[in-house]
Amino acid sequence: MKDLINILENELRQAFRAAGYDESYAKVVVSNRPDLCEYQCNGAMAAAKQYHKAPIMIAKDVLAALSERENTSECSVFDKAEAVNPGFINLDAAPAFLASHLNGMAEDPRCGIPQAEKPKKIILDYGGPNVAKPLHVGHLRSAIIGECLKRLGRALGNEVIGDVHLGDWGLQMGLLITEMQERHPDLPYFDDAFEGEYPAEAPFTISELEEMYPAASARSKEDEEYRARALEATHSLQEGKRGYHALWKKIVEVSVADLKKNYEKLDVHFDLWKSESDAQPYIPDMVKKLKEEGYAHYDQGALIVDVAEESDTKEIPPCIILKSDGASLYSTTDLATIVERRKLFNPDELIYLTDKRQEMHFIQVFRTARKAGIAAPDTVMRHLGFGTMNGKDGKPFKTREGGVMRLEYLIRDINEEMEKKILENRNVREEDARETAEIVGLAALKYGDLSNQASKDYIFDVEKFTSFEGNTGPYILYTIVRIKSILERYGKEHPDAADGTILPAAGAAEKKLMLAMTGFGDVLTGAFAELMPHRICQFIYELANAFNSFYHETKILTEEDPAKQASWIALLKLVKRIMEEGIEILGFGAPEHM
């Protein structure tokens, strides 16, 4: 269904046209002076130039046309429409119209969320963990923001395919193989003469892998000979050496099982578990084409593609396709992955989520893909670079000992704090506190992240994120739980009550709540277009505030007029649905009590 603001704007368009002005001036926005009006249109000011007329004259002409329309139509849309110097058009929605719009939202199975007219096929590349390295806080943002964008894109009717794009092909694999050989030289993987079947069970656990990688990485920084061996092992693996390949497969298998478990805890789910190595078969042909068609050339031994453009305001270095030793790089893999994705899915859009420090990498990759026709001409490619999650000291978040914080421990810390607060609150039985804390803890973590603009750094503050007050996940859940409990009590007192109709708002707080609710679809559309989940958080927060103000001045359960009471109950049901749809898109759910 259509968003309320679009309906209002459509009215203004008609009025602009009827008054003889171009309807493109009829843009309606939510008022930035809520004390004066609910919506406003500032188009008369912009139109003044074109029509050589005072803006206030234009505004008055438009309003005359508008009032004519309103007089002849059955349901008037505006309660107030006035021209204010120097040419603003101030608007208030008519309560009856607002109520009927909300009843429409309540009947709509999509709760007023507009569905894409031309659904897009979008591949969302997020998560991006690396094999054998434990998930740490650096991977958290990619997972949380990516999962939200996936759900958001789908809610708007698109086909979104989430791909974890596992890092399984770089030097870290050579390091692990080398370290494994140091520790267990007798494993058949290292016996060149071995021709039998390699073991079905991995001869190592995830904990061993996780301990091995940092050890190997540290040693390679001090030990030249060791590093050379690791590079050699990486190369042999990439050349397809049988034993290494079998070992690599096992390492990936054990890692993936562990990663899946961890993402599950975050309620993050990928449709595809593809990886860097899957793109390797596409590299030779791609390189050949780049060379033959003259896009790539050699420079100091390396194969590069120039991607600088005249309009650049900063230097954009060439995209390196092959190093001078012939090895491929991160950009090579990403370009080959575009080839693969085009072949397998032919997507309309590719969206990548990584730390914003990778911005240059994606500029180079996208430009190369565009220029050389690796991506289809109409495929949109976007990179969302997010900021760093910092500790209270403003530096990248670390453990108390200064190490990299494992995601598991971070979740554990949040849940412990949450459980403490929930027990203090005494609304939940002690034996249920842990389970509730897990639900609310996930909300605290995800909301804490998503409510900050993705591109900015933010401070991870357990105390703040787990608070029941302010712009936090727990506050949002608390509001939902409050609505649930009112509805539950009403249901008990009126077991046979039929669904009520939402009546025009009786008071200011109720109207404010109603207006807030109508913004849902428009906010989702905007948040997706701009890849900005924090706008959804802002919307839900304002909706929760509007609901709580209404709740504090309205005696819902003791109301004596049954139609009025039923209308409020219907209103509450819709608020609850909008909030639940909203948090589902953010990636978490609400408990029954808290």
Give the residues lining the site for ligand ARG (CB under 6 A): 125, 128, 130, 165, 167, 334, 352, 354
Q: By C-beta, is 355 or 416 nearer to ligand ARG? A: 355
Distance CA 507, CA 276 (A): 59
300/470 Cα distance (integer angstroms): 57
Least distance to ligand ARG, CB of residue 251, Å: 15
Is the Cβ–Cβ distance between 60 and 21 less than 8 Å?
no
Nearer Cβ to ligand ARG (65/173): 173
Q: How far is the CB of 165 from ligand ARG (least distance, A)?
A: 4
CA separation for the pair 119, 154 (Å, rounded): 9
Residues 139 and 180 sit within 8 Å (Cβ to Cβ): no
Give the nearer residue to ligand ARG in terms of CB position, either 9 or 168: 168
Minimal distance in Å, beta carbon 173 to ligand ARG?
A: 13
What gap in Å lies between CA 448 and CA 443, rounded to an integer?
A: 8
CB of 325 to ligand ARG, least distance (A): 22
| Residue number, 132 or 536, with CB nearest to ligand ARG | 132
The smaller minimum CB distance to ligand ARG, of residues 128 and 500, is found at 128
Angle (nearest 5°) at CA 484 between 448 and 492? 170
> Quick one: CA dihedral 559, 563, 568, 573, positive or negative?
positive
CB of 61 or CB of 334, closer to ligand ARG: 334
- Position of minimal CB gap to ligand ARG: 128
Cβ of residue 34: shortest distance to ligand ARG, in angstroms? 42
Nearest residue (CB) to ligand ARG, 7 versus 329: 329
Residue 332 or 452 with smaller CB distance to ligand ARG: 332
Nearest residue to 131 via CA among 161, 162, 163, 171: 171
CB of 322 to ligand ARG, least distance (A): 18
Number of helices followed by number of strands (H, E) in the chain: 20, 13
* Three-class secondary structure of residue 30 per DSSP: strand
**Cβ of residue 343: shortest distance to ligand ARG, in angstroms?**
16
Least distance CB 335 / ligand ARG (angstroms): 10
Compute CA distances 271 → 78, 142, 274, whole Å: 46, 16, 9
| Cβ at position 75, least distance to ligand ARG in Å | 50
- CA dist 112 and 100 (Å) reads 13
Q: Rounded to the nearest whole angstrom, what is the least distance from the CB of residue 135 to ligand ARG in the complex? A: 11
Dihedral sign, Cα of residue 419, residue 421, residue 423, residue 426:
negative
Q: How far apart are CA 127 and CA 262, in angstroms?
A: 12
> Rounded distance, CA 350 to CA 326, Å?
28
What residues form DSSP beta bridges with 352?
125, 383
If the CB atoms of residues 101 and 141 are measured against ligand ARG, the closer one turns out to be: 141
Q: Are 357 and 385 in contact (CB under 8 A)?
A: yes
Residues 6+ apart with CB under 8 A from 400: none
CB nearer to ligand ARG: pick between 167 and 533: 167
